[in-house]
Structure 1
Amino acid sequence: MKTTATIFFLAAFSLSATAQSPADYVNPFIGASTSEGAAGIYHGLGKTFPGAATPFGMVQLSPNTITGGDNGSGYSYEHTTIEGFAFTQMSGIGWYGDLGNFLVMPVTGPLQTSAGRRQHPGEGYRSAYSKEEEKASAGYYTVKLTEHNIKAEMTAAPHSGIMRFTFPAHAQSRIQIDLARRVGGTSTWQEVKVIDDRTIAGFMRCTPDGGGWGNGDGKANYTVYFYAQFSKPLKDYGVWSADIPDGWTRKREDIESERYRQQIAKAAVLPGVKEKSGKHLGFYTEFATTEGEAVLMKAGISFVNIEGAKANLEAEINDWNFDRVRQQATALWNQALGKMAVSGGTDEENRVFYTALYHTMLDPRTFSDVDGKYIGGDGKTHATGSFSKRTIFSGWDVFRSQMPLQTIINPRVVNDMINSLVTLADESGKQYLERWEFLNAYSGCMIGNPAVSVITDAWMKGIRKFDEQKAYAYAKNSVEKFGNGTKGYSTGGLSVSLTLEYAYFDWCLGKLAGALGKKEDERTYLARGGNYRNVFDKNKAWFRPRNDDGSWQPWPEEGRMKQGYGTIESSPYQQGWFVPQDVPGMVALMGGKKKVLADLTAFFDEVPENMMWNDYYNHANEPVHHVPFLFNRLGAPWLTQYWTREICRRAYRNSVEGLVGNEDVGQMSAWYVLAASGLHPVCPGSTRYEITSPVFDSVTIALDAKYATGKQFTIGTRNNSPSNRYIRKAWLNGKPYPHCYLDHADIMAGGTLLLEMGDTPNREWGAR
């Protein structure tokens, strides 16, 4: 069996460099803004990070510009100062965020123990930086810190990272590490120890008391262990330790306060201390540098123990060759991104596509060390067998596009994620599946039972290398614990969203039950899939929230357009289209195909040109992501073709503000990858994909031999162009193909779907 390190090394040389490899098109700055002003809504924009990572890697080494606020990635492009460079990040999330641990900062001059405020960078160790000299690519990031005239570079391996700092001539240069730092809060306990004249090790414990995920409501409770080495010997080094009174609370709002900042700024500096533990620690090493001298630092991290962090570093970065590690990271990205090859797009479209594909391969990240060990839901150390333990499952978002995309291009990752969720339910003793898992935390974020959808979708597509009986039992426990209950509908402030989504997940369980031969459960849960009807008010001809006694909640002046009326992050008009398991039943309920088609057409016609947050088709948020493909189900596939091309053009751009909403751990980008390729599901759990108009002349997907009989599947076109966006004819493997949908088995068998494009719709093709 190859070790992770061996695989990493071999991958680095498996692809030869080309002038325009897939990694060359990646622009990690796409979406890297949290600006509420630019977004026009408190949710902000993409909230991605620009730092260095490897595909699904544990280490994501990135600049951080802010600790507090609703800045999940810790970085926003419009900020003018950098606090430091952290080894862990989250991509595209709100709810205050987390990680951002092991914050490293190169500086010159007197030691400062507080980062200081963005408005007054001189009062702390943060630094202004040069936007012109800030650059990022797949696996690499660099910037010039102008306050100290230091060039910072960083690159990553799966469990480790290496940084190169080019200093000016200075008698008091320094690398300092804020061990307490955490996005959206603080780690609550740290320990650090000097191992030898080049090595330190320790850990940072992060608990809900220190804010973080959901400002503590996300229940994040994890420990990051580190093993770090310096290229320059430790001679003048030490620790700083801030006295945090026992009575102080330490949530996001506390650590953002001036009182807290002042307490950190006057931390005790302890030169020469070899070992220290405390509530707010930092470590520093000082040295003189000559002009242009490069000083390197590398570190492995682990969520298990220091020994794991050490083994991770030694397996992946066993020397000081920064450029070699960077080349290996680029090669890993070329291998991963090379699973999809596109042709015929513009440079802009290629950059948007490959960056989107890149963003879909950041999570779910590996959670196990190079030896396969991981920390389980019981807090104990476990070892993986036939799968890699993974974490960060943004369920409510990713079941729609991200996980279906991975069923095609990375089925092993899907299998890993299901195993990870099932083992977590087992180890934690909870015996149900978490909807938004974060480092073993049952955060309960958002609604529904998305893991049930992911498991069902995977099983129906032949991804089955997990304990299906446990998976089924925990899926059943999930829908019984969180569901529409004996009434057949949910009540309260989220009545519509809950009822509709629970009905879909019940249907998913019914499909899984049928596939596993559990006929009674199949009948029960498929029937529950029809519970969406129970919140449809025929008098109002739309979905409406209900009270506990069965009565309807008062109808607002705005009607179904009212945001938050029985819904989450949507209106009934937006949420009401979510009946993917029974589109014919939904259409009949809404008044028939002609009426629904007119209503759905208006739903899109009212969308603003820039497709930013709005009251109609709101691509900035997930509840409507399947809706453009409903035209296929309504006998008007040319409208699916028209609108998906419009969304690809208007909602995705090669710019910092190139995502109209939160990336949400790969979901926003996965939608683009699928739609731009010409395929997207309406109903995960079904093996049907809707065919739409591809952005590219050709898209070729490499298939995994363990899950597919074919080697590759190609979606090709004739006469494709921005104006020729309508499918006139189609052929599957050389034979005329009249349908606007494709089965997963057709893709896995390999072959070619050829689409003839034109500038006017063919209203016959795919309409029946």
Structure 2
Amino acid sequence: MLALLALPVLVSAQTPAREPAAYVNPFIGASTSEGAAGIYHGLGKTFPGAATPFGMTQLSPNTITGGDNGSGYSDEHKTIEGFAFTQMSGVGWFGDLGNFLVMPTTGPLQTASGPAAHPEEGYRSPYDKSSEKASAGYYSVQLTEQHIRAEMSAAPHSGIMRFTFPANAQSRIQVDLARRVGGTSTWQEVKVVDDHTIAGYMRCTPDGGGWGDGAGKADYTVYFYAQFSKPLKKYGVWSANIPDGQSRHRDDVTSAKYQDIIAHAAVLPGVKTKAGKHLGFYTEFETKDREPVLLKAGISFVSVAGAKANLQAEIKDWNFDGVRQQATRLWNTALGKATVSGGTETEKAIFYTALYHSMIDPRNFCDVNGQYPGGDGKIHQLKGFRKRTIFSGWDVFRSQFPLQTIINPGVVNDMINSLVTLADESGHQYLERWEFLNAYSGCMIGNPAIPVIADAYAKGIRGFDAQKAYAVAKNTVAKFGNGDKGYSAGDLSVSLTLEYAYAEWCLGKFAQDLGRQEDAAHYQAAGGNYKNVFDPSVGWFRPRNEDGSWQPWPAEGRMKQGYGTIESSPYQQGWFVPQDVPGMVQLMGGREKVLADLDTFFEKVPENMMWNDYYNHANEPVHHVPFLFNELGAPWLTQRWTRTICDRAYHNSVEGLVGNEDVGQMSAWYVLAASGLHPLCPGSNRYEITSPVFSSITFKLDPKYASGKTFTITARNNGPQNLYIQRAWLNGKPYDHSYLDHAVVAAGGTLELEMGAQPNKNWGIQ
């Protein structure tokens, strides 16, 4: 793993003061490698580039356009295609964004990126892996073909790049305006505004692939306002002649035929305005040895005027180091909302990087003037909340949003407002499960926005129209739910029925909090519909057909992957009844039988915790399972297994995540579990207490949503061997429960734990 050579630079013992941002290693999870993962889902799929907390822009290297490479980057790739201003983090499926791809070059102009196997045929370049450095808000690398150093840093709506060139009479910065991860933008326009500035836009539609190779329905426009530190004296546009009717999805634009068309694009020197299907812009200049040339750009999803205002508000001059320092300050403030002491330096790097990854999304989607693109295609002005986007619902309702309810409740409030108003603006009047730049992508299953809303409202996060939220939540359940039959039939029968039952229980909880007693009774009863796909004859959950009959029981039984389930087996999905653990245990044959079954479920996990048929931490359906032991009266097993997972499934390395980061979910699980608190059932207000990795962690609370200033968890005598809770005190008084209510956290105070090497089987069982 060559990227590990960079780690001493990233986490240096010489870093003064050791502020939180100094621990962040953006290379954690930055791999899509199927080979390393042992499964086509790949590994973390994070990006190593520069970002700010929940920012609109992410300036990052891109190594690939096609494949299942959501971030556009994978550490094992040996060439860099360019450096883009927008990226997705940790997603499966086929990615998107990667817009405004900038590349420094020298010599004759090349208009295509060229194949990875022969980078000399295009503008892509090999790079020195040992030179690659990344930290919170900064990235740099040495490109080796033409000996150019590339550096970048980000502001919330803009970014800056600094390229250090060799002596050359024909140096260049070129921008591929068509490029997009997973496809291409389908129409672009560029205009030379003055002798330092260009502006324009890139239109991205499903016809150009992108999210889900077009199936994700991504339809957005990226506007830019970009300036160069050297004047535009010798510049131009290239324009490829894309034939009418040419398919432009992922496999098309990466094909040799399509790339040949781009490689033979018309080069138009001196052109000041151009629109077309596949454009690029270049500016050429002479450079002295080690001469820096900078590019800065504002990005907007609203207008060129918005992009200009974003840039002028954030990066007024050419002070690259000042932008970098400001990005670091923003991250130190954000990461300072959860501070730890104790543990090893490596564990701190894992913790703060996980916290960092949990604050990439849901990202800001509005300009500095408060304008944002609505679901109706019109420009809207913010009223009382910040528009946010990228809601990977099926993943993030489990840990990511519960974490934010503690440290960033305003972000949760914004996301709920964004989803509810989108339901209105789009005319759909229901909540999308995987929202991407206003697109109703329909990705994955369930109704995950409902538990997010119910959880927030129950915790006092209520800065949204609750009645409207409730109305669209009801519409959502009516459109996607178990219906009058009380189960969902077909190939995903088990997964759908269990996920829908949980969401309907959450809707019932929301109804109860709103005083709608009749609805509350109805939906909470519907939360028991999980029982309708449990077959006593086989003793487990089993998919049903439309007529109610059971689907044939396979030879592998409940272990069969995809049998009535998505990205799981019935054995893995079947534990998903967080709303009614006693009822689930009764169905399964009682506490002792369930504990024995769970023992097998965990003990058979491979040492490296990569994708497997048992507790598969690489994917979300099982993320709540370690916390079931608390409700089963065996909290020492929750303590044992969460510490084990933190130790074996998270590492300070490129391959440091055992599965997709999934827009903050994988990392948020670690932050909460390593802190000693994690929900079993979002929507219930209850956190399960478990064994913290650190001797102390303090959450800084938001005074708009909490009466307390901080909540601290301390663990006396903590260590790798002393992982079991012996006794506990809440605000100085003995505490014997293995759970804590959110109201206690919000009120501020201290939970003190005494740790030991052997389980105390008398603590936490009340």
TMscore range, shorter length: over 0.9
1:330 to 328, 331, 336: 328
1:65-103 Cα shifts (integer Å, max 9, x gaps): 000000000000010000000000000001110000000
Alignment pair present for 1:84 and 2:118: no
Matches within 5 A, 1:345-384: 345-384=343-382
Aligned position for 1:21: 19
Aligned counterparts of 2:401 and 2:246: Cα–Cα separation in 1:
42
The DSSP-based 3-state class of the residue aligned with 1:496 is: helix
Aligned counterparts of 1:758 and 1:490: Cα–Cα separation in 2:
46
Aligned counterparts of 1:334 and 1:222: Cα–Cα separation in 2:
32
1:221-272 Cα shifts (integer Å, max 9, x gaps): 0000000000000000000000000021000010111100100000000000
Q: What amino acid maps onto 2:121 in structure 1?
A: E
Matches within 5 A, 1:648-659: 648-659=646-657
Matches within 5 A, 1:588-667: 588-667=586-665
1:219 to 217, 220, 226: 217
Aligned counterparts of 1:340 and 1:251: Cα–Cα separation in 2:
42
1:714-745 Cα shifts (integer Å, max 9, x gaps): 00011101000000000000000000000000
Q: What amino acid maps onto 1:75 in structure 2?
A: Y
Aligned counterparts of 2:326 and 2:717: Cα–Cα separation in 1:
39
Alignment pair present for 1:97 and 2:95: yes
Alignment pair present for 1:390 and 2:388: yes
Superposed CA RMSD: 0.6
Aligned position for 1:74: 72
Aligned position for 1:728: 726
Aligned counterparts of 2:265 and 2:394: Cα–Cα separation in 1:
42
Q: What amino acid maps onto 1:339 in structure 2?
A: K
1:426 to 413, 417, 424: 424
Aligned counterparts of 2:590 and 2:225: Cα–Cα separation in 1:
63
After TM superposition, give the deviation of residue 18 of structure 1 in Å: 4.7
| Farther off after superposition, 513-522 or 189-198 | 513-522
Aligned counterparts of 1:548 and 1:214: Cα–Cα separation in 2:
29
The DSSP-based 3-state class of the residue aligned with 1:433 is: coil
Matches within 5 A, 1:493-532: 493-532=491-530
For structure 1, the 5+ residue unaligned runs are 1-16
Q: What amino acid maps onto 2:202 in structure 1?
A: M
The DSSP-based 3-state class of the residue aligned with 1:631 is: helix
Alignment pair present for 1:409 and 2:407: yes
Aligned position for 1:565: 563
Aligned position for 1:477: 475
After TM superposition, give the deviation of residue 386 of structure 1 in Å: 1.3
The DSSP-based 3-state class of the residue aligned with 1:580 is: coil
Aligned counterparts of 2:338 and 2:250: Cα–Cα separation in 1:
41
The DSSP-based 3-state class of the residue aligned with 2:579 is: helix
Aligned position for 1:141: 139
The DSSP-based 3-state class of the residue aligned with 1:422 is: helix
The ranges of structure 1 where at least 4 consecutive aligned residues each deviate by more than 4 angstroms after the TM superposition are none
1:24-53 Cα shifts (integer Å, max 9, x gaps): 000000000000000000000000000000
1:312 to 310, 313, 318: 310
Q: What amino acid maps onto 1:646 in structure 2?
A: T
- Asked if the contact 2:497–2:533 (Cα under 8 Å) also holds between the matched residues in 1, the reply is yes
Q: What amino acid maps onto 1:117 in structure 2?
A: P
Aligned counterparts of 1:342 and 1:450: Cα–Cα separation in 2:
30
1:638-686 Cα shifts (integer Å, max 9, x gaps): 0000000000000000000000000000000000000000010010001
1:268-327 Cα shifts (integer Å, max 9, x gaps): 000000000000000000000000100000000000000000000000001000000000
Aligned position for 1:670: 668
Aligned counterparts of 2:438 and 2:227: Cα–Cα separation in 1:
29
1:295 to 293, 300, 305: 293
Aligned counterparts of 1:553 and 1:352: Cα–Cα separation in 2:
44
Aligned position for 1:184: 182
After TM superposition, give the deviation of residue 190 of structure 1 in Å: 0.2
- Asked if the contact 2:343–2:719 (Cα under 8 Å) also holds between the matched residues in 1, the reply is no
Aligned position for 1:3: none
Aligned position for 1:14: none
After TM superposition, give the deviation of residue 523 of structure 1 in Å: 1.0
Aligned position for 1:12: none
Aligned counterparts of 1:641 and 1:744: Cα–Cα separation in 2:
20
Q: What amino acid maps onto 2:606 in structure 1?
A: P
Aligned counterparts of 2:479 and 2:713: Cα–Cα separation in 1:
42
After TM superposition, give the deviation of residue 520 of structure 1 in Å: 1.2
Aligned counterparts of 1:132 and 1:562: Cα–Cα separation in 2:
43
Aligned position for 2:281: 283
Aligned position for 2:10: none
Aligned position for 1:539: 537
**Aligned residue pairs, count:** 752
2:113 to 91, 112, 115: 115
Alignment pair present for 1:579 and 2:573: no
Aligned position for 1:8: none
Aligned counterparts of 1:571 and 1:132: Cα–Cα separation in 2:
41
Alignment pair present for 1:453 and 2:451: yes
Alignment pair present for 1:54 and 2:57: no
Aligned position for 2:5: none
The DSSP-based 3-state class of the residue aligned with 1:131 is: strand
2:681 to 664, 678, 683: 683
Q: What amino acid maps onto 2:612 in structure 1?
A: N
Q: What amino acid maps onto 1:432 in structure 2?
A: Y
Aligned counterparts of 2:294 and 2:17: Cα–Cα separation in 1:
29
2:441 to 422, 440, 443: 443
After TM superposition, give the deviation of residue 19 of structure 1 in Å: 2.3
1:131 to 105, 129, 132: 129
- Asked if the contact 2:210–2:218 (Cα under 8 Å) also holds between the matched residues in 1, the reply is yes
Aligned counterparts of 2:518 and 2:627: Cα–Cα separation in 1:
32
For structure 2, the 5+ residue unaligned runs are 1-14
Aligned counterparts of 1:187 and 1:153: Cα–Cα separation in 2:
25
Aligned counterparts of 2:17 and 2:107: Cα–Cα separation in 1:
42
Aligned counterparts of 2:252 and 2:230: Cα–Cα separation in 1:
37
Aligned counterparts of 2:347 and 2:37: Cα–Cα separation in 1:
22
Aligned counterparts of 1:19 and 1:265: Cα–Cα separation in 2:
50
Aligned counterparts of 1:52 and 1:113: Cα–Cα separation in 2:
26
Aligned position for 1:745: 743
Aligned counterparts of 2:17 and 2:247: Cα–Cα separation in 1:
54
Alignment pair present for 1:196 and 2:194: yes
After TM superposition, give the deviation of residue 219 of structure 1 in Å: 0.1
% identical equivalent positions: 79
The DSSP-based 3-state class of the residue aligned with 1:142 is: strand
Aligned counterparts of 2:719 and 2:160: Cα–Cα separation in 1:
44
Alignment pair present for 1:250 and 2:248: yes
Aligned position for 1:488: 486
Q: What amino acid maps onto 1:397 in structure 2?
A: D
Q: What amino acid maps onto 2:164 in structure 1?
A: T
